[in-house]
Each structure stands twice: as C-alpha cells, then as structure tokens.
Structure 1
Amino acid sequence: MNGAFFAVHSGLEREGPGEPADVARAAEVLGLARDARILDAGCGPGADIAALLEAAPEGHVTARDTHAPFVARVSEAWAGDPRVAAEVASMTEPGGPFDLIWSAGALYNLGLRDGLGALRELVAEGGAIAFSHPCLFEPDPNFDPAEMWGDEPVGTKSDIADAVAATGWESLETWRLSDAAWERYYQPLEARCDALEREASDDLLAAIGASRAEIAAWRRWRRQTGYLLTVARAA
C-alpha cells in the first residue's frame, strides 16, 4: 500500500496543508535572524524552502525526509544553491545546532511528545520550533476523528500545549491553518487522483479512495478539526 500511496502523492508541490504566509508569520513572531540555521524536518518535496529562505535570505536550510524521491526533488530544485542541503534522514538525526526547526505536519510520524523531545536536542541556545499538528478545535466533536485522522490520536489545543511544555519548550503563539492552506494541498491532490483513476490498479484505486475520503472528511468537519501551528522557543 505504501507504493500506491506514494504513486498518488508523486509530483505534488505540497505533501500537507500550508502556505508561505504561515512561514512568514512564524518568522515574525520569532524575530528570525537573516542568517538563521534552519532544519526543515520532514521536508517532503520542499514546498516551504523558498518561504524559509525568504525569511532568512542569508541563512541555511537543511531539508530532511526519509522518502528518497522527495529529497531528490529538493536536491534538483535547489542544485547549485549553497543555502540548501537535502538529506535522506530521520528528522531527529544528530546535527545542527539549528536556530529554527520547521516541521509542517510531520511530527505525528514520531509521536508528538517523542518528536518534540528529540528535536529539542537539536536547537541552539535560544533556538525555536514551529510545527503544525492535527488538532480538535472542539473538545467533544460530533464526529469520529478517525474519519479524518485514522488511527492517529488527536488531541485538543490544550493537549498540544501540554506536550510542548513537557518537552522543554515555551509556546509563544499558536494559530489554526486557514482553509486556503488546506485547499492549496487538497486541490492538486484531487487533480492527481482524477488523472490516475482512469487506468488504476486495485491497490492504486484503494489509495485514491483513501485520499478522497480524507478530503471529504476535512471539508465536512473543518470547523472542528484541522492543523494547529505552534511557535515555541527552547525553555
């Protein structure tokens, strides 16, 4: 099923919701230095690298992902730019220290507390993290969160804040990602599903169906669930 999943997700600009305005807002909250050292943790195909470099034009971005084709896309897109290094590696691989860790929707792969704790070890003194993570915006939603998130445990804004504080970070600001940020991801994904569906195998049809079901669930329940973006500094 992984092969079918990546077939659906091949060639997309983004592998999760977000937009450059989110990067710019996080940088403004932090007063990010122009020469900041940044880790793009779980970078996917590199959708946020341009915005990160716009925020820190004299800085450096280390882009890490465990999926080699994504890293290859980053390497090709930024070939010859010394400000970007792409690595096939876990986001928690030793390195840095980094002034900012940016992670767009990737910490669920590690578990929120485990991921935040491990990444805390990679930041410089006074360093920061900005990450988006699944969130229930109402504590008692009138739908089954598994419709959107599958088996992944999803907490409230308070639960995320508790995880941040428990792992050595001080939260500075949070906001929910906009509908536009989600559609920036989902509309191209829908188009990709449409293109593949005509001659798809059974495995690929299952992966396409799962993507369509996720999109439909978010559009139906988006007032109650989505991504919360948290900006925090090392305590």
Structure 2
Amino acid sequence: MMKVGILTIGQSPRVDVTPAISRILGDEVEVIEQGGLDRLSEDNLLSIKPSEDETVYISKLRNGKSVRIGKTKLLPLLQEELIDLEQKVDIVIMLCTGDFPTLKTTKPILFPDQLLSNILEAVLKKNDILGIIIPLEEQRLTLIEKWQGITPTIEVEVASPYDATSDVEGAAKRLKEKGATTIVLDCMGYNEQHKNQAKKSGLPIILSSYMTTRIAQEWI
C-alpha cells in the first residue's frame, strides 16, 4: 500500500483538512500525519510566538484552536518531524502554502507554494488581476510580493479559515469588484466549504489543498 505523509505546521491530526485529502487519494492509500508542533504542550506554545518583523503563519492545534507561529522558531521543529515522517511514507505533502526552501528531505515532497506558482504562471494572462484570500492581515505585504512574481496586479482580502465569523464569500465578491479574474485561497486550511462560498463570486477558485492532493494522486 502506498503511504502519503501529511506534514502540517500546526498539530496533527488535521481533522478539518485531512479527511478530504484521504477521500481524494482513495482507499488504497494510507495517510500518515505529523505536525511541527506535535511535541509541544499548550504551556510551551509561547516559544513559537512570532517576534516583530518575523514571517507569521497560522495553523490549527489538535484542540481545535488556531495558533500564530513565527517561521524561524517553526523551522527546526518542522525539520525534526519531517525526518521522522519520511521514514514511514513514500511521498510527503506539505500542509502549508508558505515557502520552506531550507527543509531537507530524502523523499519526494510536494510544496503547495511551488505548485500554485507554476500553475498560475501557466494559466494567467499578462493583464489578469489575481485575487488572493489570506488568513492574516500580517501576511498581506509578504504575499503580495510573492505573487507579483507571477502577475503584476494583486488584490487581497483577509478571511481566516480558522475563524467561524470570517466572510469568505464576501471576500471573494469584493475581489471580483476590484477586477480579479481568478481567486486563490492561499492557505491549506481552506476546505471545500470555503471554496463553495468563494465560488458564489462567479470566478474560478483555486483551492490549495485540493490542487496539491490531485497532483499527489497523479504521482502515486
């Protein structure tokens, strides 16, 4: 049986995302989850709190709460879990759309960040406006800079997948009003429900987790 690893930057299991991934991969694939924060107790979470001017990520804990994570503090924890996970699986899916070029692995690993960039570069036209929905306001400038490598005009709305009060549908409709021609849900925490909400804008919606899983399915 083929084994696929899911590496989240938060804690596993990711009951909000992994069931959909498993459904796409099929019954003949075993999914094994690990997370960068798996070995941290709730009392130790302050150790990964973002410092000023540090790249900030957000993910989910196994108790259902969300947590902000500083990238420099996350990387060594993530590497440790990856070394362990890759001993058990044939391929790893990174459950984050962030950039992790320093991670070392001996097994194939799918980085949604790279996949999204290459696919959007292939399909967007020169004058297209890309809309992105992101979880945190603190990520706005960093993600605009990232996506401007693909297309010069970026519009951003914030609607966290970890906040039940977030208005993904409204965010998508506002992006359409700003001229966006395609919308990326730029976080692996967005699920099919969020995509269906965003589709009410009438625009094509790229769900990061779905796209990455489909590519994993083709690989296996």
Shorter-chain TM-score: what band? 0.3 to 0.5
Report the structure, 1 or 2, having the larger helix content. 1
Q: Which has the higher contact order (CA 8 A, sep 6+)?
A: 1
TM-score by length of structure 1 reads 0.38
